[in-house]
Amino acid sequence: MENVNIHKTAIIHPGAKISPGVSIGPYSIIEGDVTLGDNVRIGSHCVITGQTKIGRNCKIFTGAVIGSPPQDLKHSADDNVFLNIGENNIIREYVTINPGTLEGGGKTLIGNNNLIMAYAHVAHDCIIGNNCVMANAATLGGHVTLEDSAIIGGFSAVHQFVRLGRLSIVGGCSKVVQDVPPFSMCDGHPVEVIRTNAVGLKRAQISEKSISLLKKAFKILFRSGLTKTHSLEKVSKEVETCPELDHLIFFIKTTERGICS
Extended strands (E) in 56-180: 59-60, 65-66, 82-85, 90-91, 96-97, 107-110, 115-116, 121-122, 127-128, 133-134, 139-140, 145-146, 151-152, 157-158, 163-164, 169-170, 175-176
**Exactly one of 142, 153, 165, 171 is catalytic; which is it?**
142
Cβ atoms of residues 81 and 51 within 8 Å: yes
Q: Rounded to an integer, what distance in angstroms lies between the CA atom of residue 113 and that of residue 118?
A: 16
**Exactly one of 75, 124, 143, 247 is catalytic; which is it?**
124
Q: Rounded to an integer, what distance in angstroms lies between the CA atom of residue 63 and that of residue 92?
A: 9
142 as an active site residue: the answer is: yes
**Exactly one of 72, 125, 148, 179 is catalytic; which is it?**
125
159 as an active site residue: the answer is: no
124 as an active site residue: the answer is: yes
Amino acid at residue number 214: L
Q: How many CB atoms lie within 10 A of CB 256?
A: 9
Q: Rounded to an integer, what distance in angstroms lies between the CA atom of residue 87 and that of residue 89?
A: 6
Catalytic residues: 124-125, 142
